[in-house]
A = this chain, B = another copy of it.
């Protein structure tokens, strides 16, 4: 990996690390961050690891006005024998470039950036927590920095990686969530930005999520924007259904994010010879299968929780309860296998992990 020109400025002022099992998500950051700048005609330049610090931007920067930005989310895990593992990080940088293409942002060199990330985590290795279920959350992102109110792609960008230690998603053991099927608001539509990890896709869901929470739900299940009928995904998770022994997940149709956990689960199910199919599935079909008693398990998948069993779906006043609000057998098996691989407890038969030495 070409990380030669990387400049490293060490912080002289190290922060105190939080108590490992009480870390709220996303508000504590490590001592350093990675930054790199893009200038049109010159490319990405000046890769640097510097003390975590505020950004200084012109108020006319494109990011503030037209939202030209993409991001990623992945984690570093500490193993029992004190190694640090990344889970399929190359997939995140591939997806970052796919998102960038949609947002007219210049691509990064995936391999090079993975090298920079590795250096950053080496420097911050004491920030990777060790308690079960904890990890170091990694947030790479790119923002358009050019000060220009004309609508159009910027000529300058900043790529950054910040790191945040996170506590266990399920501190008291895995707990199935209650989710509302959103019938008013839309997250994404064919031809839009749904398959990209870009800022605007997230704040556009706040109203629906607030409504869902008011009525006791943890999040929303989005339906497609055209028919308001086909199941897409949850806020930050893809979704799977086990129906009569077969695993069904919505197909990638341009408006769903191609989750790396989703991809890994499909690969595992194939290895395990468990039937899995990516196809369109409507909420009516699900409800009908539910009424027939055919829905055996429902779970969301994503970097945050890996597997998040869905105990209940609320849809237009109808309530579907799955597996008696308990985690299903397959959900548990998938969770154990993936978290086992991530934390080095199980053998990585698939070459999914990369060790940060």
Contacts and interface: CB of A to CB of B under 8 A. Distances in A.
Interface string A46-61: 0000001111111110
A13 interface: no
Interface string A140-164: 0101100111111100000010101
Interface string A257-295: 000000000000000000000000000000000000000
Interface residues of A, number: 69
B26 A199 contact: no
B71 A59 contact: no
Interface in A183-233: 184-193, 198-207, 209-210, 225-226, 228
A137 interface: yes
Which among A33, A137, A147 has the highest number of chain B CB atoms within 10 Å?
A147
A119 interface: no
B54 A57 contact: yes
A44 interface: no
Given A206-B152, A207-B102, A27 B147 contact: yes
A205 to B, nearest CB: 8
Contacts of A57: 54-55, 57
Contact of A192 (B60, B148, B198, B225): B225
Given A148-B26, A189-B186, A206-B153, A54 B65 contact: no
A137 B150 CA distance: 12
A58 B143 CA distance: 13
Interface of A: 24-27, 29, 33, 52-60, 62-69, 71, 102-104, 137, 139, 141, 143-144, 147-153, 160, 162, 164, 184-193, 198-207, 209-210, 225-226, 228, 235-236
